[in-house]
Every structure is written in C-alpha cells, then in structure tokens.
Structure 1
Amino acid sequence: MDLLSDVIVSMRTGQPGAGRVQWHEPWGHDFSADPRTAGFLIVVRGSGWLRTEDHQPVELGVGDVVFSPRGDAYAISSEPTTPLTTEVAELAPTESFGSVCAGTPGGRTTVTLCGGYRVDPTRAHPLLGELPAILHLPARAGHRHQLQMAIEALSAELETPTLGTDALVPALLDALLLYVLRAWFDTARGGGHGATDWAAALADRAMLTALDAMHRNPAHPWTVPNLAAQSRLSRAAFSRRFAGLTGRPPMAYLTWWRMTLAARLLTDSDAPLREVALRVGYTSEFAFAAAFRRAHDIAPGRYRRQRQSGRAAALP
C-alpha cells in the first residue's frame, strides 16, 4: 500500500461506525475523550457551534467537518452557550449504523453525521501526531469535491438504508477519512494550518518516493544507498532530509514500520511466525523475534496470544 493508505489500515481496528443525528433546538452535546476512538462530525443541514476547552466557539455550517484524530473531547451545540448534555447515548456507536433524534421535534433542526473509528494508539503513525487535537475543515465552495461527494453518499446511505448499505458504509467511512487527511495535509502544505514536518515530507517528491517504496514493499532489503538512489539524492543529502522531516533516520523508520506491520499481522491473521517474518523483511525467524521484542517488549508469539484472546473476550 501507499503511505497514507497504510496509515489508515494500521491505526484502525474492527469496523468503523456512523450515525445520522437530527438535533432539535435547543441542543448541546459533549463528546467525551476516548483515546481508543478517532471521531468525526459533519454538518449536512442547518448549523451549530464547535466548542473546545482551549478555544473560542467556532460556528459550523453545511459541509463543515470536525475530526478528533486521537479521541480528544469536544462539544457541539445550537448556540455558543447552550447547556451541554451527554444523555443521547451512543450517538454514533462504532461497528454499527443508524439514525437518532435528539431534543423535542418542533424547533429548528440541524442534521449531522457522527461516527468513529476504533483505533489502537500503539500502532498510530507519527504523522497523526501532527494533526491538531480537533481538526476543523470548513466547507469551501468549489473545493474538495471528492470529500463532499463522500459525505453526500454516506448521508444518503444512513438516511435510507437499503440492500448493500452494510458493505457500503464502512468503505465510505474509510474514503471519508482519507479525504479528510488529504485535505488537511494539502492545507498544511499551503500554510493554512501552519507548516508541519510530515506535511513537508508528503510534499517532497524525493521523500515521498522513499516512503512509498518502503510502504509498498516492506520486505525488500532496503538500504540507505538504494533508497537514496530511488529518491535521486546523494546518500548524505537523503539521510539528512529524511531524518529532519520524519524524525527518524531512514533505517530506523523502516524498522519501526516493519514492526508495526508485524503487530497488525499477528493480531489480524493466523499466518505462521515465519511467514510474518518474511512479509516484513526477515529471512530468519530468530532475527525477527529479537527485533519484535526490542520494539514491543514482548515475544511475537506471546503478543499474538494476548491480542487475539483480548479480541475474543470483547466479542458478544
């Protein structure tokens, strides 16, 4: 996979969930912090206010997207000072879809899409650490066509579920998340949210070439010289630029990514340890186990048993 696709796959666990919520004035809801969930909210009709602990309220309009990549708390309400509640239980439960009404019908109505992705904080890619705690993407006429199309399709499926909805909604949620991340990094590169190292790395053709090479083929015996050659830079220039933008030397990043991928394979598949080792670039199962233990402080076999038993215990 390419880098951004891998970011999505590595961070998410299980199926995402979403709900369509009709808010009847006056309304206000507090979304509490949950580091195991990356949550989003999209206004599809009406308006509201985004409220966070450290900033003044921000007015939301149709098409605006709010994204909490690390599960930080935020609130929305019909007016900046409307009292907040948490009484509307499971507005957008993960791993399910549906519609909910909040408040007493009769007043002005705002409709939002609310959703969440169950995430494993231990597998989060470092570029997610550069996103703001609460990301607000205001709708702009003539911009982000693909994001708006994904929003419209998701809204239609949640409003009127029909044959295939259960398969379509998770795919639309993944597309939505990718479009949100693309939009933010495009804006960050343009200075809209302040420059970040990973935004600069994604805009740097040489760095993106090397990153995509590692992500598309992690089992390849990459070295600094052949990655530098892929990027058409000298070894010294490549190493310096890569470490400066990503925060890790090239080989340290490759090892980190291989161990993150191995953790996912051990959790989500029954592939033998030798196969997992080969898929992340180790011809020796012993060398793989040693590298995995250094990265995760646990042997790969024991890691698999703990993760899969925990997942089984969480099933109804």
Structure 2
Amino acid sequence: MSVDPLAEVVTLLQPAARASKLVECAGQWRTHREGTGEPFFCAVLEGHCRITVEGRPPMTLEAGDFLLIPALRDLVNESLDAPPEGVMTNSVQHSPGYFRVGDQQGSIALRAQIGHCSFASPDAELLVPLLPQIVVVREEPRLAALMQLVDGETRARRPARDLVLERLLEVLLIEALRAGGETTSAPGLARGLADDRLATALCSLHAHPEFPWTVPKLAAEAALSRSAFFARFTRTVGLPPMEYLLAWRMALARRLLNAHKLGMEQVAERVGYSSASSFTVAFARHVGISPARYARDHSASRILADQLL
C-alpha cells in the first residue's frame, strides 16, 4: 500500500485561508506579531529583512525566500538598519490588502506577500507537532506564485472560493514542507521523509497504523540498528518513534470518532489497540477526555452548527 505521510498530515489539518496581504516597507522599521499559534507564511518578493522568532537567532530573508511557521510564535520583522531597540513601527493601509510600513514615500526596501491561515481540524494540536517549527525555503519561485494565487483568490468572491482556497493552501503547505525538508535543518516530518531510511519506516507506519509496531520493527524497516534508528528518527523528525506513532494514531482515532460510523472496538482495532479498554486509556491520557465523551461532544457541536445554518 503506497501512502504519502506528508500529504496525509496536511489533508487532515484542513487548512483554511484567513488573511493575505501585500506589505511594502521603506526606511527603518520594526514590527511585532504576537504568537497566536496559527500558521503564518511570508513570501519575499523584493528586497530583504531580518526576522527574529521567539527563542531563535535572527535570520535574514531575501527576494525569493519563503517562510512558513505552522504555529506562530512571537515574531519581529525589521530592516537591516533597524530603529533603536524597543521602537516599533506602525503599518498604514493604503488600499484593501495593501499596507506600507516605515517611510510612506521612500524607496521600497522590502516587498512581501504575507498571510495567516487556520487549521480547521480538531486534531490540529496533535498534528502540528509533527511539522517543523519553522521552514525557510530559498529561491523556489513556485511558492511565490502559489502565494499570489492565494492572495487573488482571497480577495475574489467567485463561486467555490473556499474550496479553491483550501486546495491552494494544501498545495502551498505541502510544497513548502517538501522543499523545506530538503533545505532546512529544523526537525519535522518533511525532513524525515527526505531521509531514505527513515522515509521507508514512516511510510510503513502510515500505511499500517494498526500494526503492533515497536522500535526494533521500525528499525528493521529502515535497515538500521535499534539504537541508530531511534537516535536518527528523534533527531530528524523531532519526536521519538513511539511518540510519533501515538500522535498519529490519536489523530486517526479522532477522525474515525468524528465520522460516527464505527463502534469503539472497531476504532481501537483500526489504530492498533487490542481492546476498547486499552484504547480508551491511551486516548484519555493523550487527548484529555475519553473517546466516548469526545464523540458525544463532537456530535453535539455538529448538531448545533447545523441548527445555526
């Protein structure tokens, strides 16, 4: 059975567009974005800037670079010749979707398409940790082109707009994560899939989540010793193998519970548990509530949403 783990994760996340805008900066500037936990992306179309993400060293972005943060933390964007420490610059809206920062009449030092999206999936908090915290892709024109398509569709009010945006964002995220897995040192699923040995184990795990996987069995899939596989997987993906497996199983379980088509025993079997009781214990420990309560709460939320439509 052939599977694409990266596509599976992004599809389950159900990305949806929230906002996209063109920002031009001139002179000296410094802006601050608070950590919202939502996905943030930035395509640098012209010029350069310095980005500092909470807890990380500053990095310079230039024309052709693409930045993706699946869960936004505090972020500072500033000119290379920045204002004095602590001085922030306001942005001015010139037209819908177009903002200027810094000198309103000066020559442009940075032109970027930036935006936020959201993950509609109730499993987002389980799935986002499978992605790298930050992805920087350099000189990949396809990403800038996709950003412009997202921006154009965001502004338009054409039929099937939301569906088109959902598909565009899925492609954008997959493209960024795929390219980032080959170019960034940040751990995550995409980087794991760029490693031929780990990719074999990851694809086997995703194809058969019900299988009684252990570290030795996954190591055998990767043709590595147990210790070498464990260290390589943890370093590259960012989670130990069995933690990754648990996160993926719980995300699949929530999707099955949301569908209300299978009994508890069947859901447990689909995600690798020998009994409903062992599954219930694992689910409650990981998610915070029992699977039965989760299914009831989701059903009640869906009924209420239908009544409000």
TM-score by length of 2: 0.71
Alignment of 1:115-264 (within 5 A): 115-119=115-119, 122-124=125-127, 126-128=129-131, 131-132=133-134, 135-137=135-137, 139-140=138-139, 144=140, 146-158=142-154, 162-188=158-184, 193=185, 201-222=192-213, 227=218, 230-232=221-223, 237=225, 239-247=226-234, 253-264=244-255
For the pair 1:102 / 2:99, whether they are aligned, the reply is: yes
> For residues 202 and 159 of structure 1, what CA distance do their matches in structure 2 show?
35
Contact 2:35 2:73 in 1 (8 A): yes
2:114 maps to which residue? Answer: 114
Question: Structure 2 regions of 5+ residues with no counterpart?
Answer: none
For the pair 1:34 / 2:36, whether they are aligned, the reply is: yes
> For residues 300 and 149 of structure 1, what CA distance do their matches in structure 2 show?
42
Relative to 1, partners in 2 of residues 1:160 and 1:112: Cα closer, same or farther, differing over 3 Å?
Answer: farther
1:123 Cα deviation (Å)? 0.5
> For residues 229 and 176 of structure 1, what CA distance do their matches in structure 2 show?
33
Contact 1:19 1:99 in 2 (8 A): no
> For residues 152 and 160 of structure 1, what CA distance do their matches in structure 2 show?
12
> For residues 171 and 99 of structure 1, what CA distance do their matches in structure 2 show?
24
Relative to 1, partners in 2 of residues 1:99 and 1:166: Cα closer, same or farther, differing over 3 Å?
Answer: farther
> For residues 56 and 217 of structure 2, what CA distance do their matches in structure 1 show?
46
TM-score by length of 1: 0.69
Alignment of 1:279-294 (within 5 A): 279-282=270-273, 284-294=275-285
Letter in 2 for 1:123: L
Relative to 1, partners in 2 of residues 1:221 and 1:164: Cα closer, same or farther, differing over 3 Å?
Answer: same
Question: Across the two proteins, how many residue pairs are aligned to each other?
Answer: 287
2:292 maps to which residue? Answer: 301
Contact 1:31 1:74 in 2 (8 A): yes
Contact 1:5 1:178 in 2 (8 A): yes
> For residues 56 and 197 of structure 1, what CA distance do their matches in structure 2 show?
19
Contact 2:147 2:172 in 1 (8 A): yes
Relative to 1, partners in 2 of residues 1:17 and 1:249: Cα closer, same or farther, differing over 3 Å?
Answer: closer
Contact 1:48 1:76 in 2 (8 A): no
1:199 Cα deviation (Å)? 7.1
Letter in 1 for 2:49: W
Contact 2:178 2:190 in 1 (8 A): no
Letter in 1 for 2:99: A
Query: For 1:265-292, what per-residue CA distance to the aligned partner results, in whole angstroms no more than 9, with x for missing partners?
Result: 43x4333443433432346333322332
1:263 Cα deviation (Å)? 3.0
1:3 maps to which residue? Answer: 5
> For residues 58 and 249 of structure 1, what CA distance do their matches in structure 2 show?
28
1:61 Cα deviation (Å)? 3.5
Relative to 1, partners in 2 of residues 1:147 and 1:299: Cα closer, same or farther, differing over 3 Å?
Answer: same
> For residues 158 and 281 of structure 2, what CA distance do their matches in structure 1 show?
50
Question: Structure 1 regions of 5+ residues with no counterpart?
Answer: 90-97
Relative to 1, partners in 2 of residues 1:17 and 1:270: Cα closer, same or farther, differing over 3 Å?
Answer: farther
Identity %: 30
CA RMSD of aligned residues (A): 4.0
1:300 Cα deviation (Å)? 0.7
1:67 Cα deviation (Å)? 2.3
Relative to 1, partners in 2 of residues 1:88 and 1:73: Cα closer, same or farther, differing over 3 Å?
Answer: farther
Q: SS state of the match for residue 218, structure 1?
A: coil
Q: SS state of the match for residue 16, structure 2?
A: coil
